[in-house]
A and B are shown apart, each in its own frame.
Chain A
Amino acid sequence: MSSLRSITLATLTKDIRLEWRSRDAINSMLFFSLLVVVIFSFSFDPNAEESREIAGGLIWVAFLFAAVVALNQTWARELRNQVLDAYRVSPAPANALFLAKALGNFILVSVLEAVMAPLFVIFYNLRALGPAWQLIPVALLGTWALVVNGTFFAAMSLRTRSREIMLPLLLFPISIPAVQSMVEATRILLAGDGSARFWIVLLLTYDVVFTTACLALFETILQAE
Protein backbone atom coordinates (compact mmCIF):
# COMPACT_ATOMS: atom_id res chain seq x y z
CA MET A 1 0.00 0.00 0.00
CA SER A 2 2.77 2.39 0.90
CA SER A 3 4.52 1.60 -2.38
CA LEU A 4 1.29 2.46 -4.21
CA ARG A 5 1.16 5.79 -2.45
CA SER A 6 4.83 6.67 -2.84
CA ILE A 7 4.93 5.72 -6.53
CA THR A 8 1.73 7.65 -7.19
CA LEU A 9 3.17 10.69 -5.43
CA ALA A 10 6.51 10.41 -7.23
CA THR A 11 4.88 10.21 -10.67
CA LEU A 12 2.44 12.98 -9.83
CA THR A 13 5.13 15.39 -8.60
CA LYS A 14 7.25 14.59 -11.65
CA ASP A 15 4.34 15.37 -13.99
CA ILE A 16 3.39 18.55 -12.16
CA ARG A 17 7.00 19.74 -12.13
CA LEU A 18 7.30 19.10 -15.87
CA GLU A 19 4.03 20.93 -16.49
CA TRP A 20 5.04 23.79 -14.20
CA ARG A 21 8.28 24.31 -16.14
CA SER A 22 6.82 24.11 -19.63
CA ARG A 23 3.18 25.17 -19.02
CA ASP A 24 2.34 23.72 -22.46
CA ALA A 25 -0.91 21.99 -21.58
CA ILE A 26 -2.37 24.60 -19.25
CA ASN A 27 -1.66 27.49 -21.62
CA SER A 28 -3.15 25.77 -24.63
CA MET A 29 -6.20 24.70 -22.58
CA LEU A 30 -6.76 28.20 -21.23
CA PHE A 31 -6.51 29.80 -24.64
CA PHE A 32 -8.68 27.09 -26.18
CA SER A 33 -11.49 27.50 -23.65
CA LEU A 34 -11.25 31.30 -23.93
CA LEU A 35 -11.83 30.91 -27.66
CA VAL A 36 -14.80 28.62 -27.00
CA VAL A 37 -16.33 31.16 -24.59
CA VAL A 38 -15.93 33.99 -27.11
CA ILE A 39 -17.32 31.94 -30.00
CA PHE A 40 -20.29 30.83 -27.90
CA SER A 41 -21.07 34.43 -26.99
CA PHE A 42 -21.20 35.27 -30.70
CA SER A 43 -23.47 32.29 -31.43
CA PHE A 44 -25.99 33.24 -28.73
CA ASP A 45 -27.04 36.68 -27.67
CA PRO A 46 -28.57 35.88 -24.31
CA ASN A 47 -30.06 38.19 -21.73
CA ALA A 48 -29.59 37.41 -18.05
CA GLU A 49 -32.62 35.13 -17.78
CA GLU A 50 -31.80 33.00 -20.80
CA SER A 51 -28.11 32.78 -19.97
CA ARG A 52 -28.99 31.16 -16.64
CA GLU A 53 -30.73 28.42 -18.56
CA ILE A 54 -27.95 27.75 -21.08
CA ALA A 55 -24.77 28.73 -19.19
CA GLY A 56 -24.50 25.31 -17.51
CA GLY A 57 -24.33 23.66 -20.90
CA LEU A 58 -21.86 26.17 -22.34
CA ILE A 59 -19.48 26.00 -19.38
CA TRP A 60 -19.30 22.23 -19.31
CA VAL A 61 -19.02 21.79 -23.05
CA ALA A 62 -16.14 24.28 -23.08
CA PHE A 63 -14.40 22.41 -20.22
CA LEU A 64 -15.03 19.04 -21.86
CA PHE A 65 -13.37 20.16 -25.09
CA ALA A 66 -10.51 21.79 -23.22
CA ALA A 67 -10.00 18.67 -21.07
CA VAL A 68 -9.52 16.58 -24.23
CA VAL A 69 -6.53 18.80 -25.10
CA ALA A 70 -4.88 17.92 -21.78
CA LEU A 71 -5.93 14.25 -21.81
CA ASN A 72 -4.49 13.67 -25.27
CA GLN A 73 -0.97 14.52 -24.16
CA THR A 74 -1.16 12.56 -20.88
CA TRP A 75 0.74 9.56 -22.15
CA ALA A 76 2.59 11.14 -25.08
CA ARG A 77 5.46 12.09 -22.77
CA GLU A 78 5.88 8.49 -21.61
CA LEU A 79 6.04 7.09 -25.14
CA ARG A 80 9.22 8.98 -25.92
CA ASN A 81 12.31 7.13 -24.65
CA GLN A 82 10.14 4.02 -23.98
CA VAL A 83 9.24 5.10 -20.45
CA LEU A 84 6.01 3.14 -20.66
CA ASP A 85 7.89 -0.04 -21.59
CA ALA A 86 10.18 0.47 -18.63
CA TYR A 87 7.16 0.90 -16.41
CA ARG A 88 5.62 -2.27 -17.78
CA VAL A 89 8.57 -4.45 -16.79
CA SER A 90 9.06 -2.79 -13.42
CA PRO A 91 7.35 -4.32 -10.36
CA ALA A 92 5.53 -1.02 -9.63
CA PRO A 93 1.74 -1.43 -9.47
CA ALA A 94 0.02 -0.30 -12.67
CA ASN A 95 -2.69 1.47 -10.71
CA ALA A 96 -0.15 3.82 -9.14
CA LEU A 97 0.70 5.12 -12.60
CA PHE A 98 -2.97 5.42 -13.49
CA LEU A 99 -3.86 7.27 -10.29
CA ALA A 100 -0.94 9.67 -10.73
CA LYS A 101 -1.95 10.48 -14.29
CA ALA A 102 -5.64 10.87 -13.40
CA LEU A 103 -4.82 13.11 -10.40
CA GLY A 104 -2.46 15.17 -12.55
CA ASN A 105 -5.20 15.73 -15.12
CA PHE A 106 -7.66 16.46 -12.34
CA ILE A 107 -5.43 19.23 -10.97
CA LEU A 108 -4.84 20.63 -14.44
CA VAL A 109 -8.52 20.77 -15.37
CA SER A 110 -9.48 22.14 -11.93
CA VAL A 111 -7.01 25.00 -12.34
CA LEU A 112 -8.49 25.68 -15.76
CA GLU A 113 -12.00 25.76 -14.29
CA ALA A 114 -10.98 28.05 -11.44
CA VAL A 115 -9.53 30.52 -13.93
CA MET A 116 -12.30 30.28 -16.53
CA ALA A 117 -15.37 30.26 -14.26
CA PRO A 118 -15.06 33.96 -13.27
CA LEU A 119 -14.75 34.83 -16.95
CA PHE A 120 -18.02 33.02 -17.67
CA VAL A 121 -19.67 34.94 -14.83
CA ILE A 122 -18.50 38.23 -16.33
CA PHE A 123 -19.31 37.47 -19.97
CA TYR A 124 -22.79 36.06 -19.31
CA ASN A 125 -23.79 38.26 -16.34
CA LEU A 126 -24.41 35.21 -14.17
CA ARG A 127 -25.78 35.33 -10.66
CA ALA A 128 -26.78 32.09 -8.98
CA LEU A 129 -30.33 32.06 -7.64
CA GLY A 130 -29.91 28.67 -5.93
CA PRO A 131 -27.39 27.58 -3.27
CA ALA A 132 -24.16 28.47 -5.10
CA TRP A 133 -21.83 26.54 -2.79
CA GLN A 134 -23.25 23.30 -4.28
CA LEU A 135 -21.52 24.21 -7.54
CA ILE A 136 -18.23 23.20 -5.87
CA PRO A 137 -19.13 19.50 -5.33
CA VAL A 138 -20.68 19.46 -8.82
CA ALA A 139 -17.45 20.81 -10.32
CA LEU A 140 -15.21 18.45 -8.35
CA LEU A 141 -17.28 15.32 -9.06
CA GLY A 142 -17.84 16.33 -12.69
CA THR A 143 -14.16 17.01 -13.32
CA TRP A 144 -13.19 13.69 -11.81
CA ALA A 145 -15.83 11.95 -13.98
CA LEU A 146 -14.27 13.46 -17.11
CA VAL A 147 -10.61 12.87 -16.26
CA VAL A 148 -10.83 9.37 -14.82
CA ASN A 149 -12.38 7.95 -17.99
CA GLY A 150 -10.38 10.35 -20.16
CA THR A 151 -7.07 9.17 -18.72
CA PHE A 152 -8.14 5.56 -19.18
CA PHE A 153 -9.29 5.99 -22.77
CA ALA A 154 -6.19 8.02 -23.61
CA ALA A 155 -4.13 4.99 -22.55
CA MET A 156 -6.41 2.80 -24.66
CA SER A 157 -6.08 4.95 -27.78
CA LEU A 158 -2.26 4.83 -27.57
CA ARG A 159 -2.39 1.64 -29.61
CA THR A 160 -4.57 3.04 -32.37
CA ARG A 161 -3.91 4.94 -35.55
CA SER A 162 -4.67 8.69 -35.33
CA ARG A 163 -5.00 8.51 -31.57
CA GLU A 164 -5.72 12.21 -31.12
CA ILE A 165 -9.08 11.80 -32.81
CA MET A 166 -9.74 8.44 -31.17
CA LEU A 167 -9.94 9.78 -27.60
CA PRO A 168 -13.05 11.98 -28.00
CA LEU A 169 -14.74 9.24 -30.07
CA LEU A 170 -14.35 6.83 -27.14
CA LEU A 171 -14.80 9.31 -24.30
CA PHE A 172 -17.86 11.31 -25.38
CA PRO A 173 -20.44 8.48 -25.68
CA ILE A 174 -19.48 7.06 -22.28
CA SER A 175 -19.48 10.54 -20.71
CA ILE A 176 -23.03 11.40 -21.77
CA PRO A 177 -24.69 10.69 -18.36
CA ALA A 178 -21.93 12.57 -16.51
CA VAL A 179 -22.17 15.58 -18.80
CA GLN A 180 -25.94 15.59 -18.50
CA SER A 181 -25.74 15.49 -14.70
CA MET A 182 -23.21 18.35 -14.57
CA VAL A 183 -25.22 20.49 -16.98
CA GLU A 184 -28.55 19.86 -15.24
CA ALA A 185 -27.14 20.42 -11.74
CA THR A 186 -25.48 23.67 -12.83
CA ARG A 187 -28.64 24.84 -14.54
CA ILE A 188 -30.77 24.10 -11.47
CA LEU A 189 -28.34 25.88 -9.15
CA LEU A 190 -28.05 28.94 -11.38
CA ALA A 191 -31.79 29.24 -12.05
CA GLY A 192 -32.71 28.27 -8.50
CA ASP A 193 -35.54 25.92 -9.45
CA GLY A 194 -35.63 22.87 -7.22
CA SER A 195 -32.92 20.68 -5.76
CA ALA A 196 -29.83 19.38 -7.58
CA ARG A 197 -29.49 16.45 -5.20
CA PHE A 198 -30.49 13.77 -7.71
CA TRP A 199 -27.82 14.92 -10.19
CA ILE A 200 -25.09 15.15 -7.55
CA VAL A 201 -25.88 11.62 -6.38
CA LEU A 202 -25.87 10.40 -9.97
CA LEU A 203 -22.47 12.04 -10.56
CA LEU A 204 -21.14 10.40 -7.42
CA THR A 205 -22.42 7.01 -8.59
CA TYR A 206 -20.84 7.57 -11.99
CA ASP A 207 -17.50 8.42 -10.34
CA VAL A 208 -17.56 5.40 -8.04
CA VAL A 209 -18.57 2.97 -10.82
CA PHE A 210 -16.01 4.14 -13.35
CA THR A 211 -13.14 4.70 -10.91
CA THR A 212 -13.60 1.09 -9.81
CA ALA A 213 -13.77 -0.13 -13.41
CA CYS A 214 -10.66 1.85 -14.39
CA LEU A 215 -8.63 0.55 -11.45
CA ALA A 216 -9.79 -3.01 -12.11
CA LEU A 217 -8.96 -2.96 -15.84
CA PHE A 218 -5.98 -0.61 -16.16
CA GLU A 219 -3.46 -3.40 -15.67
CA THR A 220 -4.96 -5.18 -18.70
CA ILE A 221 -4.69 -2.03 -20.81
CA LEU A 222 -1.13 -1.23 -19.74
CA GLN A 223 0.08 -4.75 -20.52
CA ALA A 224 -1.72 -4.88 -23.87
CA GLU A 225 1.01 -4.47 -26.47
Chain B
Amino acid sequence: MKRAFPILAVLTALLLAYAFYEAIWVAPMERTMGDVQRIFYYHVPSAWTAFLLFSVNLVASVIYLVRGNAKADAVALVSAEVGVVFCTVVLVTGPIWARPVWGIWWTWDIRLTTTLVLWLIYVSYLVLRKFSDSSQTPKLAAVLAIFGALDVPLVYFSIWFFRTQHPQPVIGGGGSIDPRMLHVLLINWLAFSCFAFLVCWSRYRLELLQREVEEAESLESLSGVSQ
Protein backbone atom coordinates (compact mmCIF):
# COMPACT_ATOMS: atom_id res chain seq x y z
CA MET B 1 0.00 0.00 0.00
CA LYS B 2 2.75 2.43 0.95
CA ARG B 3 4.46 2.00 -2.41
CA ALA B 4 1.25 2.90 -4.21
CA PHE B 5 1.24 6.37 -2.69
CA PRO B 6 4.10 7.97 -4.70
CA ILE B 7 2.83 6.31 -7.89
CA LEU B 8 -0.61 7.77 -7.32
CA ALA B 9 0.93 11.14 -6.47
CA VAL B 10 2.83 11.26 -9.77
CA LEU B 11 -0.24 10.15 -11.71
CA THR B 12 -2.37 12.81 -10.03
CA ALA B 13 0.19 15.52 -10.83
CA LEU B 14 0.24 14.48 -14.50
CA LEU B 15 -3.52 14.30 -14.63
CA LEU B 16 -3.91 17.73 -13.03
CA ALA B 17 -1.43 19.24 -15.51
CA TYR B 18 -3.24 17.62 -18.44
CA ALA B 19 -6.63 18.77 -17.12
CA PHE B 20 -5.27 22.31 -16.76
CA TYR B 21 -3.97 22.27 -20.34
CA GLU B 22 -7.31 20.97 -21.62
CA ALA B 23 -9.33 23.53 -19.66
CA ILE B 24 -7.25 26.56 -20.65
CA TRP B 25 -6.18 25.82 -24.25
CA VAL B 26 -8.19 22.96 -25.72
CA ALA B 27 -11.74 23.60 -24.54
CA PRO B 28 -13.66 25.82 -26.98
CA MET B 29 -14.42 29.38 -25.94
CA GLU B 30 -17.95 29.96 -24.75
CA ARG B 31 -19.80 32.25 -27.17
CA THR B 32 -21.38 34.77 -24.80
CA MET B 33 -19.32 34.51 -21.63
CA GLY B 34 -15.85 34.28 -23.15
CA ASP B 35 -12.84 33.09 -21.22
CA VAL B 36 -14.42 33.63 -17.81
CA GLN B 37 -16.50 30.53 -18.46
CA ARG B 38 -13.36 28.40 -18.07
CA ILE B 39 -13.65 28.68 -14.28
CA PHE B 40 -16.51 26.21 -14.77
CA TYR B 41 -13.88 23.45 -15.14
CA TYR B 42 -12.74 24.15 -11.57
CA HIS B 43 -16.04 25.15 -9.99
CA VAL B 44 -18.13 22.13 -10.97
CA PRO B 45 -15.53 19.38 -10.32
CA SER B 46 -14.81 20.92 -6.89
CA ALA B 47 -18.52 20.88 -6.08
CA TRP B 48 -18.89 17.24 -7.12
CA THR B 49 -15.81 16.28 -5.14
CA ALA B 50 -17.03 18.16 -2.05
CA PHE B 51 -20.45 16.50 -2.18
CA LEU B 52 -18.81 13.12 -2.67
CA LEU B 53 -16.59 13.69 0.39
CA PHE B 54 -19.57 14.79 2.52
CA SER B 55 -21.39 11.60 1.52
CA VAL B 56 -18.32 9.60 2.55
CA ASN B 57 -18.39 11.46 5.86
CA LEU B 58 -22.04 10.51 6.46
CA VAL B 59 -21.49 6.84 5.62
CA ALA B 60 -18.37 6.68 7.80
CA SER B 61 -20.22 8.39 10.68
CA VAL B 62 -23.08 5.88 10.53
CA ILE B 63 -20.59 2.99 10.42
CA TYR B 64 -18.81 4.45 13.42
CA LEU B 65 -22.04 4.78 15.43
CA VAL B 66 -23.09 1.22 14.60
CA ARG B 67 -19.75 -0.58 14.83
CA GLY B 68 -17.58 1.74 16.94
CA ASN B 69 -14.75 1.27 14.47
CA ALA B 70 -11.98 3.86 15.10
CA LYS B 71 -10.84 3.77 11.46
CA ALA B 72 -14.33 4.76 10.29
CA ASP B 73 -14.08 7.77 12.59
CA ALA B 74 -10.71 8.75 11.08
CA VAL B 75 -12.25 8.50 7.60
CA ALA B 76 -15.16 10.70 8.72
CA LEU B 77 -12.83 13.35 10.12
CA VAL B 78 -10.57 13.38 7.06
CA SER B 79 -13.40 13.51 4.53
CA ALA B 80 -15.04 16.40 6.41
CA GLU B 81 -11.78 18.38 6.49
CA VAL B 82 -10.98 17.90 2.80
CA GLY B 83 -14.64 18.36 1.88
CA VAL B 84 -14.71 21.76 3.58
CA VAL B 85 -11.63 22.79 1.58
CA PHE B 86 -13.26 21.80 -1.73
CA CYS B 87 -16.54 23.41 -0.71
CA THR B 88 -14.61 26.62 0.01
CA VAL B 89 -13.16 26.46 -3.51
CA VAL B 90 -16.71 26.20 -4.86
CA LEU B 91 -17.90 29.18 -2.82
CA VAL B 92 -14.92 31.30 -3.91
CA THR B 93 -14.89 30.45 -7.62
CA GLY B 94 -18.67 30.89 -7.92
CA PRO B 95 -18.74 34.65 -7.17
CA ILE B 96 -15.64 35.23 -9.35
CA TRP B 97 -17.65 33.82 -12.26
CA ALA B 98 -20.98 35.39 -11.23
CA ARG B 99 -19.72 38.97 -11.06
CA PRO B 100 -18.95 39.37 -14.81
CA VAL B 101 -21.76 37.09 -15.99
CA TRP B 102 -24.69 37.90 -13.69
CA GLY B 103 -23.39 41.33 -12.63
CA ILE B 104 -23.63 40.37 -8.94
CA TRP B 105 -21.28 38.50 -6.63
CA TRP B 106 -23.89 36.56 -4.77
CA THR B 107 -27.56 35.71 -4.90
CA TRP B 108 -29.70 33.71 -2.48
CA ASP B 109 -30.40 31.05 -5.04
CA ILE B 110 -31.17 27.43 -4.24
CA ARG B 111 -27.79 25.88 -5.10
CA LEU B 112 -25.72 28.72 -3.71
CA THR B 113 -27.62 28.80 -0.44
CA THR B 114 -27.70 25.03 -0.01
CA THR B 115 -23.95 24.85 -0.63
CA LEU B 116 -23.34 27.68 1.83
CA VAL B 117 -25.46 26.01 4.53
CA LEU B 118 -23.71 22.70 3.88
CA TRP B 119 -20.39 24.49 4.33
CA LEU B 120 -21.63 26.08 7.59
CA ILE B 121 -22.79 22.71 8.93
CA TYR B 122 -19.45 21.08 8.21
CA VAL B 123 -17.50 24.01 9.66
CA SER B 124 -19.54 23.60 12.86
CA TYR B 125 -18.73 19.87 12.69
CA LEU B 126 -15.00 20.66 12.59
CA VAL B 127 -15.37 23.24 15.37
CA LEU B 128 -17.07 20.61 17.54
CA ARG B 129 -14.21 18.19 16.91
CA LYS B 130 -11.72 20.91 17.75
CA PHE B 131 -13.42 22.07 20.96
CA SER B 132 -14.30 18.70 22.35
CA ASP B 133 -11.36 16.89 23.86
CA SER B 134 -12.95 13.95 25.61
CA SER B 135 -12.62 10.44 24.24
CA GLN B 136 -16.27 10.66 23.17
CA THR B 137 -15.65 13.32 20.50
CA PRO B 138 -16.09 10.82 17.63
CA LYS B 139 -19.51 9.81 18.90
CA LEU B 140 -20.71 13.41 19.25
CA ALA B 141 -19.31 14.29 15.83
CA ALA B 142 -20.98 11.28 14.19
CA VAL B 143 -24.33 12.30 15.68
CA LEU B 144 -23.86 15.85 14.39
CA ALA B 145 -23.03 14.52 10.91
CA ILE B 146 -26.36 12.67 10.86
CA PHE B 147 -28.21 15.81 11.96
CA GLY B 148 -26.48 17.77 9.21
CA ALA B 149 -27.45 15.20 6.60
CA LEU B 150 -31.09 15.37 7.73
CA ASP B 151 -30.97 19.14 7.47
CA VAL B 152 -29.75 19.40 3.87
CA PRO B 153 -32.99 18.26 2.14
CA LEU B 154 -35.00 20.65 4.32
CA VAL B 155 -32.70 23.53 3.38
CA TYR B 156 -33.12 22.55 -0.26
CA PHE B 157 -36.92 22.57 -0.07
CA SER B 158 -37.05 25.83 1.85
CA ILE B 159 -35.11 27.61 -0.89
CA TRP B 160 -36.72 25.67 -3.71
CA PHE B 161 -39.75 27.87 -3.03
CA PHE B 162 -37.85 30.89 -4.32
CA ARG B 163 -36.84 31.56 -7.89
CA THR B 164 -33.68 29.87 -9.04
CA GLN B 165 -31.01 31.84 -10.85
CA HIS B 166 -28.17 29.31 -11.00
CA PRO B 167 -27.67 27.65 -14.42
CA GLN B 168 -29.38 24.30 -14.61
CA PRO B 169 -27.07 21.37 -13.93
CA VAL B 170 -25.41 20.48 -17.22
CA ILE B 171 -25.78 16.77 -16.63
CA GLY B 172 -29.21 15.35 -15.91
CA GLY B 173 -30.74 18.82 -15.64
CA GLY B 174 -31.93 19.46 -19.18
CA GLY B 175 -29.12 21.94 -19.97
CA SER B 176 -27.02 21.43 -23.06
CA ILE B 177 -23.24 21.35 -23.23
CA ASP B 178 -20.74 21.07 -26.08
CA PRO B 179 -19.36 17.47 -26.04
CA ARG B 180 -15.79 18.84 -26.08
CA MET B 181 -16.57 20.90 -23.00
CA LEU B 182 -18.09 17.90 -21.29
CA HIS B 183 -14.95 15.91 -22.06
CA VAL B 184 -12.75 18.59 -20.44
CA LEU B 185 -15.13 18.78 -17.47
CA LEU B 186 -14.95 15.06 -16.83
CA ILE B 187 -11.14 15.03 -17.12
CA ASN B 188 -11.00 17.82 -14.57
CA TRP B 189 -13.35 15.98 -12.29
CA LEU B 190 -11.21 12.87 -12.49
CA ALA B 191 -8.10 14.91 -11.72
CA PHE B 192 -9.77 16.66 -8.79
CA SER B 193 -11.11 13.41 -7.38
CA CYS B 194 -7.65 11.83 -7.58
CA PHE B 195 -6.19 14.87 -5.88
CA ALA B 196 -8.85 14.77 -3.13
CA PHE B 197 -8.26 11.05 -2.63
CA LEU B 198 -4.51 11.63 -2.38
CA VAL B 199 -4.89 14.39 0.21
CA CYS B 200 -7.39 12.31 2.19
CA TRP B 201 -5.07 9.33 2.12
CA SER B 202 -2.06 11.18 3.48
CA ARG B 203 -4.21 13.01 6.06
CA TYR B 204 -5.70 9.66 7.09
CA ARG B 205 -2.25 8.15 7.63
CA LEU B 206 -1.23 11.22 9.58
CA GLU B 207 -4.35 10.95 11.75
CA LEU B 208 -3.71 7.27 12.52
CA LEU B 209 -0.05 8.00 13.37
CA GLN B 210 -1.08 10.86 15.61
CA ARG B 211 -3.51 8.62 17.48
CA GLU B 212 -0.81 5.98 17.88
CA VAL B 213 1.54 8.59 19.32
CA GLU B 214 -1.11 9.85 21.73
CA GLU B 215 -1.88 6.33 22.84
CA ALA B 216 1.81 5.54 23.37
CA GLU B 217 2.28 8.76 25.34
CA SER B 218 -0.65 8.08 27.64
CA LEU B 219 0.55 4.48 28.16
CA GLU B 220 4.02 5.77 28.99
CA SER B 221 2.70 8.27 31.52
CA LEU B 222 0.56 5.53 33.07
CA SER B 223 3.54 3.20 33.46
CA GLY B 224 5.48 6.10 34.97
CA VAL B 225 2.79 6.48 37.61
CA SER B 226 2.73 2.80 38.50
CA GLN B 227 6.49 2.55 39.10
> Are B117's CB and A166's CB within 8 A?
no
In this complex, which of B117, B144, B151 has the most chain A Cβ atoms within 10 angstroms of its Cβ?
Answer: B151
Question: Which residues from B are CB-within-8-Å of A209?
Answer: 150, 154
> Are A160's CB and B132's CB within 8 A?
yes
> Are B143's CB and A217's CB within 8 A?
yes
A218 and chain B: residue at smallest CB distance: B143
The answer for the CA separation of A217 and B132 in the assembled complex, in Å, is 18
Question: Which residues from A are CB-within-8-Å of B123?
Answer: 173
> Are B143's CB and A220's CB within 8 A?
yes
> Are B147's CB and A210's CB within 8 A?
yes
Report the minimum CB–CB distance from A114 to chain B (whole Å). 26
Given contacts A166-B128, A169-B127, A170-B128, contact A177 B139 (CB under 8 A): no
Question: Which residues from A are CB-within-8-Å of B134?
Answer: 159, 224-225
The secondary-structure label for the interface of chain A is helix
> Are B124's CB and A177's CB within 8 A?
no
Report the minimum CB–CB distance from A76 to chain B (whole Å). 17
The answer for the CA separation of A23 and B128 in the assembled complex, in Å, is 31
Q: Is B161 an interface residue (CB 8 A)?
A: yes
Of B131, B151, B157, B161, the residue contacting A174 (CB under 8 A) is: B151
Interface size on A (CB < 8 Å)?
31
Q: Is B146 an interface residue (CB 8 A)?
A: yes
Query: Which interface class (under 10, 10 to 19, 20 to 34, 35 or more) fits B?
Result: 20 to 34
> Are B143's CB and A156's CB within 8 A?
yes
B120 and chain A: residue at smallest CB distance: A173
Question: Which residues from B are CB-within-8-Å of A177?
Answer: 151, 154-155, 157-158
Of B136, B146, B154, the residue contacting A225 (CB under 8 A) is: B136
A206 and chain B: residue at smallest CB distance: B154
Question: Which residues from A are CB-within-8-Å of B150?
Answer: 209-210, 213
Question: Which residues from A are CB-within-8-Å of B28?
Answer: none
Q: Is B215 an interface residue (CB 8 A)?
A: no
The answer for the CA separation of A198 and B160 in the assembled complex, in Å, is 11
Report the minimum CB–CB distance from A186 to chain B (whole Å). 14
Q: Is B27 an interface residue (CB 8 A)?
A: no
Question: Which residues from A are CB-within-8-Å of B131?
Answer: 160-162, 166
Residues of chain B from 102 to 142 with CB closer than 8 A to chain A in the complex: 117, 120-121, 123-124, 127-128, 131-134, 136-137, 139-140
Report the minimum CB–CB distance from A183 to chain B (whole Å). 10
Residues of chain A from 192 to 215 with CB closer than 8 A to chain B in the complex: 198, 202, 205-206, 209-210, 213
The answer for the CA separation of A205 and B155 in the assembled complex, in Å, is 12
Provide 13 A-B residue pairs closer than 8 Å at the C-beta atoms, listed in order of the A residue.
Answer: A156-B128, A159-B140, A160-B128, A172-B124, A173-B120, A176-B117, A180-B158, A202-B154, A209-B150, A210-B147, A220-B139, A220-B143, A224-B136
Residues of B within 8 A of A (CB): 65, 117, 120-121, 123-124, 127-128, 131-134, 136-137, 139-140, 143-144, 146-148, 150-151, 154-155, 157-159, 161
Given A172-B124, A174-B121, A205-B154, 19 more A-B residue pairs with CB atoms under 8 Å apart are A149-B147, A156-B128, A159-B132, A161-B131, A161-B132, A169-B124, A169-B127, A172-B120, A173-B121, A174-B147, A176-B120, A176-B158, A184-B161, A202-B158, A206-B154, A209-B150, A209-B154, A220-B143, A221-B143
